[in-house]
A and B are shown apart, each in its own frame.
Chain A
Amino acid sequence: MNMQVISEAPSHTLTTEDLVIRARALDLTFETNDGPVHALKGVDLDINKGEFVSFIGPSGCGKTTFLRCIAALETPTGGALSVNGMTPDQARQKRAYGYVFQAAGLYPWRTIAKNIKLPLEIMGYSRAEQDRRVAQALELVELSGFGGKFPWQLSGGMQQRASIARALSFDADILLMDEPFGALDEIVRDHLNEQLLQLWARTNKTIGFVTHSIPEAVYLSTKIVVMSPRPGRITDVIDSPLPKERPLDIRDSPEFIEIAHRVREGLRAGHSDV
């Protein structure tokens, strides 16, 4: 059924070079004291280069788990998953992706610039290259001039932007974001969403984005993956017809409302057959 949904979508010309993430019949079962928990069951999904894919669904639907599988932070118990044509763990060792967590998780003992430098130090870039990339990443998230500050001197939204800069600094093609704006207020969130779209347009990265928010998912994505819990699975995949250029007031347009409606229907359907 999931395959069908994908093939219904407006046709992309799929060459293997375009395909960044490919999941087939992906299963993940956690063994707990209360018996096995099906975090993911039969997940099929293709993500192409340059796409902005949102994963939306209620708690326990496996959206974060799926993202963590792509990042090789979890190991699937069944099915196939490839990232850039490799296994997720090989891709991780090749530093194929940057990961942004829900909390900024900046080291309090490092300045913003030094925090962004952290992955570069670990990956063994030269001093000069580190400085160049830090400046570039700070500029991308509009934090130039804040490199010398410590995290506690910045607002929550600025901290999260710094953590995005940290994920961008080593210039991986894939950016995985796990509810990065979940802890921020609506106004800051709108602003960061707008910035994220600009950043995506400039860098042409492939982005996987987990969210709870329907407007956020519809506003940002070229593809929306609707998931439902127990067992965690995909119930709908929506290819957004919205143009790549998206001012904030696009959210009042009929197309936007229609997609949001379809997402809501998908979420409701997922709930009714529990």
Chain B
Amino acid sequence: MKTLFSVLTVIAVIVAVWYAACVPMNIKGVLDQVERGGAVVVPETPKARRDASAFGLVVNNAFAIAEVWSVERPRLPAPHQVAVELWNTAVEKKISSKRSLIYHGKVTLSATLLGFAIGTGLGILLAVGIVHSKVMDMSIMPWAIVSQTIPIIALAPMIIVVLYSIGVQGLLPKAIISAYLSFFPVVVGMVKGLRSPDAMQLDLLHTYHASAAQGFWTLRLPASMPYLFASLKIAIAAALVGAIVGELPTGAVAGFGARLLAGSYYGQTVQIWSALFAAALLAAGLVALLGLMERQILKRMGEGS
């Protein structure tokens, strides 16, 4: 109960700060609008207002403050505007509609899940190789690290173009960009996890004359499970980012990325923010789902009470 109260307090503070931030962010647009409606504004010309500080404008034109939370194309939309847009586009619209966020979400989700699956599979395979082969450890690991230092926003168009030229388009290029971002945390986490058994446990298997495969299945793999799930949670969020980034440079017509891009073309900030929130909610749901799986599996492995 106390926790719930604390959580609600934090959320209330965030929302309050957001509402407050709308005032200086949107005041200029509001003043232009009310001036056109015939009201007297200080200072009088848009040119003079452009150079004035936002806070000064707020103080001098306090009568217009109420308007900043209901502008049609605000610089910063108010929370309730985003919430209404989310409701309208996610719940009210039919799922088949091009303007439904659920429709766009499904497009992005399918690329995310495919990319996550590819990335996780690749990451685990690489980690197994790295742990069992010194050559792979020394040759693959540096490249894996370098791969993550290249901004994905620079690389994504090239991946799309190259794949298009060999006839691959649609879901797969986006999934590959997702996989590119999500394999890395899995490699790092699994290498750490597969190496987590200590010397004594490895010696013990040695005294049983166990093969490397037996050591992998009985010791290394189960020991790596907590590490794997920590990595998977990072990887699924990264995969979602990858899918959205993959939708940006292609002029994709569907998906959260396309929604963001269209919103920025037409100055639809409310649409951008609602797509952002929808993506964040989706990511939170995916991570929560993995958390649930983790609890189930680790419980079966005897963790905790």
Q: Does A30 make an interface contact (CB < 8 A)? A: no
Q: Does B79 make an interface contact (CB < 8 A)? A: no
The answer on a CB contact under 8 Å between A97 and B207 is yes
Q: 1/0 contact trace for A65-93 toward B, CB 8 Å?
A: 00000010100000000000000000011
Residues A95 and B218 in contact in the complex (CB < 8 Å), given A101-B200, A105-B200, A111-B302: no
Residues A109 and B205 in contact in the complex (CB < 8 Å), given A101-B200, A103-B200: no
Chain B interface SS verdict (over half): helix
Q: Does B201 make an interface contact (CB < 8 A)? A: yes
The answer on a CB contact under 8 Å between A105 and B208 is no
Q: 1/0 contact trace for A92-108 toward B, CB 8 Å?
A: 11010111010101011
Q: Does B51 make an interface contact (CB < 8 A)? A: no
Residues A92 and B209 in contact in the complex (CB < 8 Å), given A105-B204, A108-B303: yes
A73: chain B residues at CB < 8 Å are 203, 206-207
Of residues 273 to 305 in B, which have CB atoms within 8 Å of A's CB atoms? 301-303
In the complex, which range does the number of interface residues on chain A fall in?
20 to 34
Cα A92 to Cα B204 in complex, Å, equals 11
Q: For B210, give the chain A residue with the smallest CB separation.
A: A122
A99: chain B residues at CB < 8 Å are 203-204, 207
The answer on a CB contact under 8 Å between A105 and B302 is no
Cα A121 to Cα B208 in complex, Å, equals 10
Of residues 248 to 275 in B, which have CB atoms within 8 Å of A's CB atoms? none
Cα A101 to Cα B201 in complex, Å, equals 9
Q: Does B133 make an interface contact (CB < 8 A)? A: no
Q: Does B57 make an interface contact (CB < 8 A)? A: no
A98: chain B residues at CB < 8 Å are 207
Residues A71 and B207 in contact in the complex (CB < 8 Å), given A103-B200, A105-B200, A109-B302: yes
Of residues 164 to 218 in B, which have CB atoms within 8 Å of A's CB atoms? 200-201, 203-210, 214, 218
B303: chain A residues at CB < 8 Å are 108-109
Of the residues B200, B204, B209, B223, contact of A95 by C-beta under 8 Å: B209
Of the residues A103, A109, A119, A151, contact of B222 by C-beta under 8 Å: A109
Residues A95 and B208 in contact in the complex (CB < 8 Å), given A103-B200, A118-B218, A121-B218: yes
Q: For A68, give the chain B residue with the smallest CB separation.
A: B203
B200: chain A residues at CB < 8 Å are 101, 103, 105
Q: Does B219 make an interface contact (CB < 8 A)? A: yes
Cα A150 to Cα B303 in complex, Å, equals 9
User: Shortest beta-carbon distance, B109 to chain A, in Å?
Assistant: 32
B205: chain A residues at CB < 8 Å are 122
Q: Does A110 make an interface contact (CB < 8 A)? A: yes
Cα A71 to Cα B201 in complex, Å, equals 15
Cα A151 to Cα B201 in complex, Å, equals 15
A108: chain B residues at CB < 8 Å are 301-303
B207: chain A residues at CB < 8 Å are 71, 73, 92, 97-99
Cα A92 to Cα B214 in complex, Å, equals 16
Cα A99 to Cα B223 in complex, Å, equals 21
B219: chain A residues at CB < 8 Å are 107
A101: chain B residues at CB < 8 Å are 200, 203-204
Cα A151 to Cα B301 in complex, Å, equals 11
Cα A71 to Cα B302 in complex, Å, equals 31
The answer on a CB contact under 8 Å between A122 and B222 is no
Cα A118 to Cα B206 in complex, Å, equals 13
A274: chain B residues at CB < 8 Å are none
A103: chain B residues at CB < 8 Å are 200
Q: For B218, give the chain A residue with the smallest CB separation.
A: A118
The answer on a CB contact under 8 Å between B201 and A105 is yes
Residues A107 and B222 in contact in the complex (CB < 8 Å), given A101-B200, A122-B214, A152-B302: yes
B214: chain A residues at CB < 8 Å are 122
Cα A107 to Cα B210 in complex, Å, equals 16
A93: chain B residues at CB < 8 Å are 209
Cα A205 to Cα B226 in complex, Å, equals 39
User: Shortest beta-carbon distance, A105 to chain B, in Å?
Assistant: 5
Cα A80 to Cα B219 in complex, Å, equals 33
A105: chain B residues at CB < 8 Å are 200-201, 204
Q: 1/0 contact trace for A128-150 toward B, CB 8 Å?
A: 00000000000000000000001
Q: Does A187 make an interface contact (CB < 8 A)? A: no
A-B contact list, 7 entries, CB within 8 Å: A71-B207, A73-B206, A108-B301, A108-B303, A109-B302, A118-B218, A122-B214
Rank and list the top 8 A-B pairs by shortest CB-CB distance, nearest first. Answer: A109-B301, A150-B302, A99-B207, A122-B210, A119-B208, A122-B208, A109-B222, A93-B209
Q: Which residues of A contact B (CB under 8 A)?
A: 71, 73, 92-93, 95, 97-99, 101, 103, 105, 107-111, 118-119, 121-123, 150-152
